[in-house]
């Protein structure tokens, strides 16, 4: 399970190191190359809840393994990309594989470990993510500096195939099958809404605020409102808003959102600054980012081990 989280984390950070080289190869601007990152994360965000349902329907381990297969195919396609559009499209395919892995890995852990040791298991998952982030930064720096940016995708192939082989030998489905329906209207509305907002934000990188950009924001907001209404009247919604009635749910999700916001904004801006303004090589720029991820990997298991005590405190307060 840690390998699965590790490989998705690697591919989240490793590509950032390669953005300047990808810009140079395809002769594209920042507003175009940024979709190599955004597209991957956007698809994972959009598809995760739906592929989690597929895990409920057909088996979480099977969907977890399928995610690696899709991820490897997407990686090979990214390595062979011939222009910016093909690279972005193949990154979307990679994101689908990443969504299968991310959505089902946590569920498999929940099925495998009893509540008493589940927090520690998720802590090791945190080690996998932070280790993958470090490896992505360091490997990206080495590969882009000394080989070619295309090899940041080729290295996923042996890792992914090895992960599939290991998963088939080690992991067993312990959950029953459930009859679920796909929430296509919900996924479509939130997908269009988020895409419009992202498109407007990316346009603001290189263009002044205009009626077109405002229009994208308005359409995005209206589609998110439509998503909220659809989910309230759907028998099996992709996002059950009643979950937010759980006292700890909203603070936890907000904490995760702001943590990711801070992480990726600093990562992207700092790497572009170090390579662009200070003209550092990718390897030298990457080494400056390692300490933060190392600290996160060390602290993760200890933080997870304290979850049970925090739950006890919250129960007593309630």
Q: How do residues 96-145 score in pLDDT, each as one tens digit?
A: 998 888 777 777 887 778 877 777 777 777 777 777 877 887 888 888 88
The residue-averaged pLDDT of 55-67 equals 81
Mean pLDDT for all residues in the chain: 82
Q: Are 40 and 89 a contacting pair, CB within 8 Å? A: no
Provide the 10 A C-beta neighbour count for residue 11: 28
**2-182+275-317 in CATH: which number?**
1.20.1250.20
Query: Which has more confidence, 78 or 56?
Result: 78
What distance in Å separates the CA atoms of residue 249 and residue 67, rounded to the nearest whole number? 27
**How many alpha carbons fall within 13 Å on the CB side of residue 291?**
2
Residues in CB range of 222: below 8 A, 6 or more apart: 193
Tens digit of each residue's pLDDT (9 = 90 or more) over 255-310: 888 888 887 788 778 877 887 788 888 788 777 877 776 776 677 666 666 665 55
Asked which of 24-38, 82-96, 207-221 is least confident by mean pLDDT, the reply is 24-38
Domain spans of the chain, in order of start: 2-182+275-317
For residues 198-223, give the mean pLDDT. Answer: 91
Confidence band for 189, pLDDT divided at 50, 70 and 90:
very high
Q: What is the pTM of this model?
A: 0.80
DSSP code of 241? G
Q: Which residues contact 146 (CB under 8 A, 6 or more apart)?
A: 283
Say whether pLDDT at 315 is over 60: no
Sign of CA pseudo-dihedral 21, 18, 198, 91? positive
Q: How far is CA 210 from CA 170, 201, 206, 260, 279, in A?
A: 55, 12, 12, 29, 33
Q: Band the pLDDT of 77: cuts 50, 70, 90.
A: very high
When pLDDT is averaged across residues 1-20 and rounded to a whole number, the result is 78
Structure tokens at 84: 């910016």
Query: Tell me, what's the pLDDT at 166?
Result: 85
Question: What pLDDT does 219 receive?
Answer: 96
d(CA 71, CA 42): 15
The C-alpha angle 71, 227, 265, rounded to 5 degrees, equals 55
């Amino acid at each position: 399970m840690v390998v699965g989280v590790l490989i998705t984390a690697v591919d989240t950070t490793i590509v950032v190191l390669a953005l300047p080289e990808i810009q140079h190869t395809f002769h594209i601007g920042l507003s175009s190359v940024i979709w190599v990152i955004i597209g991957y994360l956007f698809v994972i965000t959009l598809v995760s809840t739906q592929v989690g349902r597929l895990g409920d329907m057909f088996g979480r381990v099977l969907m977890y393994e399928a995610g690696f297969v899709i991820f490897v195919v997407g990686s090979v396609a990214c390595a062979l990309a011939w222009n910016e559009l093909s690279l972005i499209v193949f990154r979307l395919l990679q994101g689908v594989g990443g969504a299968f892995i991310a959505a089902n890995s946590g569920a498999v852990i929940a099925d495998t470990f009893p509540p008493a040791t589940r927090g520690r298991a998720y802590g090791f998952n945190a080690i996998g993510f932070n280790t993958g982030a470090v490896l992505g930064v360091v490997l990206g720096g080495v590969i882009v500096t000394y080989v070619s940016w295309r090899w940041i995708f080729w290295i996923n192939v042996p890792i992914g195939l090895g992960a599939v082989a290991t998963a088939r030998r080690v992991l067993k489905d312990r959950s029953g099958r459930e009859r679920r329906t796909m929430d296509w209207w919900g996924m479509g509305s939130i997908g269009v809404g988020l895409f419009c907002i992202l498109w407007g934000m990316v346009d603001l990188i290189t263009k002044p605020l205009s009626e077109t950009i405002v229009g994208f924001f308005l359409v995005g907001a209206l589609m998110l409102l439509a998503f909220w209404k659809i989910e309230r009247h759907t028998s099996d919604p992709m996002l059950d808003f009643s979950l937010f009635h759980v006292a700890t749910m909203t603070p936890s999700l907000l904490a995760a959102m702001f943590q990711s916001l801070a992480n990726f904004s600093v990562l992207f801006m700092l790497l572009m600054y170090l390579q662009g303004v200070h003209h550092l090589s990718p390897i030298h720029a990457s080494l400056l980012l390692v300490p933060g991820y190392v600290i996160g990997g060390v602290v993760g298991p200890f933080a997870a081990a304290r979850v049970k005590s925090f739950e006890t405190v919250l129960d007593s307060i309630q």
